[in-house]
Structure 1
């Protein structure tokens, strides 16, 4: 058992071994932006919110928030609801749960690698 980092070929095969990791890529890409992460935090604590509510107290424009919400929606993290003439945005918590499970898989791989390293060093 090697304790060295995976090669590109073995990293690619991880996508077939752990398909949930491949599904999580758009989620992690969307969350990699500070503004989008802040929007997710707001939606986690405030329920469904309008763009006006999401921009309150910030210097970010409504147009910028709309673009960020589109990225989050494309990743499956948020969805919009119509309430009369208003458009509200809410969190799709199941996608965050899928991302959390992906991180659990990665954490398990690291734990195994560290155990292999420990065993190799103790020999």
Structure 2
């Protein structure tokens, strides 16, 4: 586990399209209450709350109480793990495309 003492793997948390959409919504806003997040989906408040709990367990979402309302915001730092993982494959594909290009150029001569 990372220094955040995460309970859930970040890759597991972002595997679901609903959770990825929640991350996008929170990235576009500083902070959103549960009712505003729920209004963006065709599912109930309980289902959205369950998705938010999974994101919280992965360290991707932080929440705070404001009166009777719970507000959520994105903590994007755990996404660095995903970015680092993807960076390796980006280099892999770039190197392979360069080699393919070289082979195609050699074939033309």
Residue 111, structure 1, aligned to residue 94, structure 2 = yes
Task: Give 3-state SS (helix, strand or coil) of 1:94's partner.
Answer: coil
Residue 36, structure 1, aligned to residue 11, structure 2 = no
**C-alpha separation in 1, matches of 2:22 and 2:42:** 14
* Matches for 1:1-123 after TM superposition, within 5 Å: 26-112=9-95
**C-alpha separation in 2, matches of 1:119 and 1:110:** 14
The unaligned stretches of length 5 or more in structure 2 are 1-5
Q: CA deviation at 1:83?
A: 1.7
TM-score (norm 2): 0.72
Q: CA RMSD in A?
A: 2.5
The unaligned stretches of length 5 or more in structure 1 are 1-22
Aligned positions, number: 99
